[in-house]
Chain A
Amino acid sequence: MLELAAVQGVSTEEQNVDHSPLAIRGLTVSYGQKPAVFSVDMTVQPGAMTAIIGPNGAGKSTILKAALGIVSPLSGQVMVYGQPLDDQRARIAYVPQRASVDWDFPTRVIDVVLMGLSRQLGLLGRVRARHKARAMDCLNRVGMREFADRQIGQLSGGQQQRVFLARALAQDADLYLLDEPFAGVDAATEKAIIAVLKSLKEAGKTVVVVHHDLATVTDYFDHVFLINTRKVAEGPVAQAFTVETLQAAYGGRLATAQIDQISRALG
């Protein structure tokens, strides 16, 4: 798409920004001296499942956090459905990394899912039966209905991840941003999560996932975004997820065995 834009001139580029669920231009983020993300452009395709891929410390999570206003960028612009983030917050759902919160927090599974409805509830709105029913429905979609009254610390890692996904479902967004949802989860959870994400895509939603498992990229996603501080490649899996782009992103860190495996997967 970007290449197309370059050929057809600026007007297509502007159209892309207006229609993209998430368009990032010239994003630079730094936590200290060294930039975590440098001058990155990203244009998420509507209705697609996009994987953000790159080595450890390449700025994958940082892109999501900057897109959501969790970290402040040094420079750059983030547009959500062609508008500033603050006007479009209701259309975005975010699943943070599981390890980013304290699971000893005194709360139940259902209460975490109800947090997804807090924009609707406002400051003092009471949680009513229909809100509870909606939260239970979301738990059901991730196979966690019977755990509603459990304290969150009593869940396994995979179950915690599914609760986070249920909270995002409760937000009823158009754009879902997930940070490493498959990290350290069991196979059953991975299956359950990918099924939910695919159903979101079928419903016309846009899904962006920070992903670390190169072996499953072709199975799960239709678009990829490769990053190593700077953008390496962006586009449909068939074009952007190649041995060349992977080597460019990972450098010498990719084992030959992995490359062979990916080459075979790519046919």
Chain B
Amino acid sequence: MSGEEFVPLSLTPLLIGTFAAIACALPGNFLVLRKQALIGDAISHVVLPGIVVAFLLTGAISTWPMMLGAAGAAVVAVVMIEAIRRLGQIEPGAAMGVVFTTMFAGGVLLLEQTDTSTVHLDVEHALYGNLESLIWLDATGWSSLLDVQALAGLPPELPRIALTLTGVILFTWLFWRPLKISTFDEGFARTIGIRTGALGLALVITAAIAAVAAFDAVGSIIVIAMFICPPSAARMMTNRLETQIVWSVIFATVSAVSGYVLAGYGPLWLGAADAVSAAGMIATISGLILALTAALGPCRARTGAPSHA
């Protein structure tokens, strides 16, 4: 494919998909190890009341208020989950289940009870996003990357997800050591002065922000898949957290790129007329990678099985 075709039509969706996948996979590594991976599901449900409230307040469907509403709802949800988990001394999965079902129900109730019939909340859009539509029509080829005028026409999702990814990388890099220690041994972490409660909250808030930014760009399917599949697959490739992070980024990138390409061209190769959803295909590829590593990965183990088995 030539630059004239690739840059306007495929470059931006590929970049957005890849950035979103990595932004979710990075915190996913810690969430999976902390047995909090369900947080991706939780966040994709709790954004509904946030979006409805944002719409009720502004009366319009516009991106920024909706994203702020979604992010606000996500942060409220993770704070509530942490509070219920710590005060009730119950496992994180149960706390998440209580919070996200309640908030999702509240969102549906709000939608039904208020005059929002004019709002078209498209389920398909929410699930699969519209990665294919995030094209860059102002571009004419690779040279457009240096053309200020053309760059101004970039889909706004790209700088947004790039900024989010930068934030996620900074957080992971800066707090790498305390994150690792407190994920492994929370009691010990506290004795050396790490504020494990605040750090755990910062981690889930980072994950929530990544989820909302990715949700806006690519839909919730990718968010849920990328929190869990690349980190879990990466765990079975290595016994070192440092290497696991690298593998998870590789798997997230491979899923995003090959998923996008296969969704666009796969059906044509098979003789079908239409392309399939890129988001759905990206999630499918990440699932296939997970299945492959679960079957063949060098460092898989049956947790709970006797160590000599």
A94 to B185: give the CA distance in the assembly, Å: 11
A123 engages B177 (CB within 8 Å): yes
Chain A residue numbers with a CB within 8 Å of B191 are 68-70, 89, 92, 94
CB of B140 closer than 8 Å to a CB of A? no
Q: Which of A100-108, A216-224, A235-243 contacts B (4 or more CB under 8 A)?
A: A100-108
Please count the residue pairs between chain A and chain B whose beta carbons lie under 8 angstroms apart in the complex.
75
A65 engages B192 (CB within 8 Å): no
* Chain A stretch 55-94: residues in CB contact (< 8 A) with chain B: 65, 68-70, 86, 89, 92, 94
CB of B239 closer than 8 Å to a CB of A? yes
Chain A residue numbers with a CB within 8 Å of B277 are none
- Residue-wise interface mask of B (211-236) relative to A, using a CB-CB cutoff of 8 A (1 in contact, 0 not): 00000000000000000000000010
CB of B114 closer than 8 Å to a CB of A? no
* Chain B stretch 180-208: residues in CB contact (< 8 A) with chain A: 180-181, 183-185, 187-188, 190-193
CB of B244 closer than 8 Å to a CB of A? yes
Chain B residue numbers with a CB within 8 Å of A248 are none
Chain B residue numbers with a CB within 8 Å of A102 are 33, 184
CB of B303 closer than 8 Å to a CB of A? yes
| Interface residue from B183, B190, B301 paired with A70 (Cβ < 8 Å) | B190
In chain A, what residue has the closest Cβ to B193? A89
Chain B residue numbers with a CB within 8 Å of A105 are 33, 183-184, 241
Nearest Cβ on chain B to A235's Cβ, whole angstroms: 27
| Interface residue from A65, A89, A104, A123 paired with B301 (Cβ < 8 Å) | A104
B238 engages A104 (CB within 8 Å): no
Label chain B's interface by main secondary structure: helix
Chain B residue numbers with a CB within 8 Å of A151 are 239, 299
| Interface residue from B89, B235, B303 paired with A106 (Cβ < 8 Å) | B235
CB of B120 closer than 8 Å to a CB of A? no
Chain A: interface residue total (CB-CB under 8 A)? 30
CB of B175 closer than 8 Å to a CB of A? yes
Chain B residue numbers with a CB within 8 Å of A107 are 180, 184, 239-241
A118 engages B192 (CB within 8 Å): yes
Known: A68-B190, A92-B191, A106-B244. A118 touches B238 (CB 8 A): no
CB of B49 closer than 8 Å to a CB of A? no
Chain B residue numbers with a CB within 8 Å of A96 are 185, 187-188
Chain B residue numbers with a CB within 8 Å of A86 are 193
Chain B residue numbers with a CB within 8 Å of A119 are 192-193
A65 to B187: give the CA distance in the assembly, Å: 8
Chain A residue numbers with a CB within 8 Å of B239 are 106-108, 151, 153
* Chain B stretch 235-256: residues in CB contact (< 8 A) with chain A: 235, 238-241, 243-244
B174 engages A123 (CB within 8 Å): yes
Chain A residue numbers with a CB within 8 Å of B299 are 106, 151
CB of A115 closer than 8 Å to a CB of B? yes
- Residues of B participating in the A interface, judged by any CB pair closer than 8 Å: 33, 89, 174-175, 177-178, 180-181, 183-185, 187-188, 190-193, 235, 238-241, 243-244, 299, 301, 303, 307
- Residues of A participating in the B interface, judged by any CB pair closer than 8 Å: 31, 65, 68-70, 86, 89, 92, 94, 96, 100-102, 104-108, 111-112, 115, 118-119, 121, 123-124, 151, 153, 167, 171
**Interchain Cβ contacts under 8 Å between A and B, 7 examples:** A94-B187, A100-B185, A105-B184, A111-B240, A115-B188, A118-B178, A153-B239
